[in-house]
């Protein structure tokens, strides 16, 4: 599926566009099934250690990890880490990163030479009532330009946000502030995200999405999500793609080519190679690195690189 001219115009004007129904179950279900097996293995391990009362084999994908986290605080706290792509590197997930329908969509924004950034995540937004005063899986207002190092500031990076189940206002779908990206400004704060005093003005949009839809987001578009008020999990992926040859802002971790019209042989298709590159990188740099605060203070900062590649 290719982006239409109106969709591309909306992306340029508003800093985001939702493309509905562009992915099929056959694209997403292998990833879901891979994570379901992985969570099942974790459940059986926790049950064997006596940390949870059962393995929850009868629970669906959208509920199983929540049931585990309700019984085991460490699972609640560690879920974002052990499910993340860099730590659980599944073959179905690798295959999806270069999914043909997805890459065709991205080509409309980035052109024919594309790499997949190592800043890539699978998220399990757990029910907020499990928190009992702990982290409630609420994503503060932020821009994705805040999570890479300075070398990537001048370059266009595309965020691709994909729900693995329906994302609704009730389970904490994304909220965005459109058109802010046109100001070419990163709104820094003392910690991660945008501080209240630095929040840009603009209309806040709630963006519910069905499974199979894709959100394309400029790295300067502010977004976040509220609490998950349901008893299920809002599973999603947020991936980043950019023009080949540009720095990712996470140079210690492996990027790879997903499309090259000029040199198709440069596209990485071997899961074992990707897995090995990550293992080697994590051995040398075991902690996630990135810039979450501006080095010289929390003031807003003008950056270049808003315009997408021609």
Indicate the pLDDT class of residue 261, thresholds 50, 70 and 90.
very high
Indicate the pLDDT class of residue 188, thresholds 50, 70 and 90.
confident
Q: Identify the pLDDT of residue 303.
A: 80
Indicate the pLDDT class of residue 192, thresholds 50, 70 and 90.
confident
Using left for φ > 0, alpha for ψ between -120 and 50, and beta otherwise, residue 292 falls in: alpha
C-beta of residue 273 within 8 angstroms of C-beta of residue 91: no
Task: With respect to residue 162, please indicate whether it lies within any of the assigned structural domains.
Answer: yes
CB atoms within 10 A of CB 267: 15
Q: From 155, 118, 116, select the one nearest 309 (Cα to Cα).
A: 155
Task: With respect to residue 307, please indicate whether it lies within any of the assigned structural domains.
Answer: no
- 109-133 average pLDDT score: 91
pLDDT digits (tens, 9 = 90+) for 47-102: 999 999 999 999 999 999 999 999 999 999 899 999 999 999 999 999 999 999 99
The DSSP letter of residue 239 is E
Dihedral sign from CA coordinates of 83, 84, 89, 95: positive
Indicate the pLDDT class of residue 298, thresholds 50, 70 and 90.
low
- 155-165 average pLDDT score: 98
CATH assignment of the domain containing 99: 2.60.120.620
Q: Identify the pLDDT of residue 136.
A: 66
Task: With respect to residue 309, please indicate whether it lies within any of the assigned structural domains.
Answer: no
Task: Domain of residue 27: give its range.
Answer: 5-302
Q: From 291, 163, 144, select the one nearest 218 (Cα to Cα).
A: 144
Q: Identify the pLDDT of residue 110.
A: 98
Q: Identify the pLDDT of residue 178.
A: 98
Beta strands in 42-173, from DSSP E residues, in sequence order: 113-116, 121-125, 139-142, 157-163
Indicate the pLDDT class of residue 301, thresholds 50, 70 and 90.
confident
Task: With respect to residue 117, please indicate whether it lies within any of the assigned structural domains.
Answer: yes
The DSSP letter of residue 196 is G
Task: With respect to residue 308, please indicate whether it lies within any of the assigned structural domains.
Answer: no
Q: Identify the pLDDT of residue 310.
A: 62
Q: Which residue in the block uniquely carries the two structure tokens 């609704």?
A: 168
Residue 109, classed as helix, strand or coil, is: helix
The tokens for 39 are 């969570």
Indicate the pLDDT class of residue 296, thresholds 50, 70 and 90.
low
Asked whether residue 244 carries a pLDDT value surpassing 70, the answer given is yes
Task: With respect to residue 310, please indicate whether it lies within any of the assigned structural domains.
Answer: no
Considering only residues 24 and 191, tell me which one the structure prediction assigns the higher pLDDT: 24
Q: Identify the pLDDT of residue 302.
A: 80
Considering only residues 265 and 301, tell me which one the structure prediction assigns the higher pLDDT: 265
Residues 6+ apart with CB under 8 A from 272: none
CB-count burial class (<10 Å; 0-12, 13-18, 19+) for 21: exposed
Task: With respect to residue 98, please indicate whether it lies within any of the assigned structural domains.
Answer: yes
- Domain count of the chain? 1
- 208-222 average pLDDT score: 98
Task: With respect to residue 185, please indicate whether it lies within any of the assigned structural domains.
Answer: yes
Lowest-pLDDT range of 209-213, 258-262, 290-294: 290-294
Asked whether residue 294 carries a pLDDT value surpassing 70, the answer given is no
């Amino acid at each position: 599926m290719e982006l239409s001219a109106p969709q591309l115009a909306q992306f340029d004007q508003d800093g985001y566009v939702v493309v509905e129904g562009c992915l099929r179950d056959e694209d997403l279900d292998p990833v879901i099934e891979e994570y379901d097996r992985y969570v099942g293995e974790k459940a059986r391990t926790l049950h064997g250690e006596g940390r949870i009362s059962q393995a929850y084999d009868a629970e669906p994908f959208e509920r199983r990890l929540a049931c585990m986290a309700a019984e085991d605080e460490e699972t609640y706290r560690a879920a974002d880490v052990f499910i993340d792509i860099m730590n659980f590197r599944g073959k179905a997930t690798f295959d999806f990163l270069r999914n043909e329908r997805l890459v065709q969509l991205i080509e409309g924004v980035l052109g024919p030479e594309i790499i997949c950034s190592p800043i890539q995540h699978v998220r399990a937004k757990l029910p907020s009532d499990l928190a009992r005063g702990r982290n409630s899986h609420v994503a503060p207002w932020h821009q994705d330009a805040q999570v890479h190092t300075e070398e990537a500031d001048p370059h266009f990076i595309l965020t691709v946000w994909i729900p693995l189940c329906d994302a609704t206002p009730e389970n904490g779908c994304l909220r965005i502030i459109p058109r802010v990206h046109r100001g070419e400004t990163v709104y820094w704060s003392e910690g991660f995200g945008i501080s209240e005093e630095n929040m840009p003005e603009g209309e806040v949009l709630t963006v519910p999405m069905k499974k199979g839809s894709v959100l394309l987001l400029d790295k300067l578009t502010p977004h976040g999500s509220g609490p998950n008020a349901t008893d299920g999990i809002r599973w999603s992926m947020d991936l980043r793609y950019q023009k080949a040859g540009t720095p990712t802002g996470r140079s210690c971790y492996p990027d790879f080519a997903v499309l090259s019209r000029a040199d198709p042989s440069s596209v990485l298709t071997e899961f074992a190679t990707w897995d090995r590159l990550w293992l080697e990188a994590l051995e040398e740099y075991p902690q996630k690195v990135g810039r979450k605060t501006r080095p010289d203070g929390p003031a807003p900062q003008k950056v270049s690189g808003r315009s997408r590649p021609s």
